[in-house]
């Protein structure tokens, strides 16, 4: 799976950074420190997220500058995405 930027109707954004088993590893932009959360595709759909065409690399660069900070695990994912170690091609499509 390629990193994917998602957005909901409240303009909340997140980056799907990878998978772990049947869960998606998501980094949501918020007020606190950015963390990696494992969620199901169903949870993403319930929260109203849809795929954005925004570049995952650009989003990751922005997330790395987050004022409240970024956990070490999230930083590792974001640095890989920002460095372009993944293709920007979107392969994630919520139902």
Domain boundaries, the chain: 4-82
User: What is the reported pLDDT for 27?
Assistant: 97
pTM of the model: 0.86
Mean pLDDT (the chain, rounded): 89
User: What is the reported pLDDT for 92?
Assistant: 47
Q: How confident is the model at residue 84 (pLDDT cuts 50, 70, 90)?
A: confident
Whether residue 91 is predicted with pLDDT greater than 50 in this model: the reply is: no
Q: How confident is the model at residue 51 (pLDDT cuts 50, 70, 90)?
A: very high
Angle at 22 between CA 20 and CA 24, to 5 degrees: 55
Dump strand ranges (E) for the chain.
4-7, 13-20, 23-28, 36-39, 50-51
Looking at per-residue pLDDT, the higher value among 1 and 36 belongs to 36
């Amino acid at each position: 799976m390629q990193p994917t930027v998602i957005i909901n109707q409240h303009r909340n954004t997140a980056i799907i950074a990878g998978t772990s088993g049947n869960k998606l590893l998501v980094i949501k932009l918020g007020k606190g420190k950015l963390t990696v959360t494992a969620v199901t595709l169903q949870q993403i759909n319930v929260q109203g997220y849809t795929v954005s065409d925004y570049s995952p690399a650009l989003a990751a660069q922005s997330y790395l500058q987050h004022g409240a900070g970024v956990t070490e695990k999230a930083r590792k994912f974001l640095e890989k995405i920002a460095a372009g170690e993944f293709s920007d091609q979107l392969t994630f499509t919520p139902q």
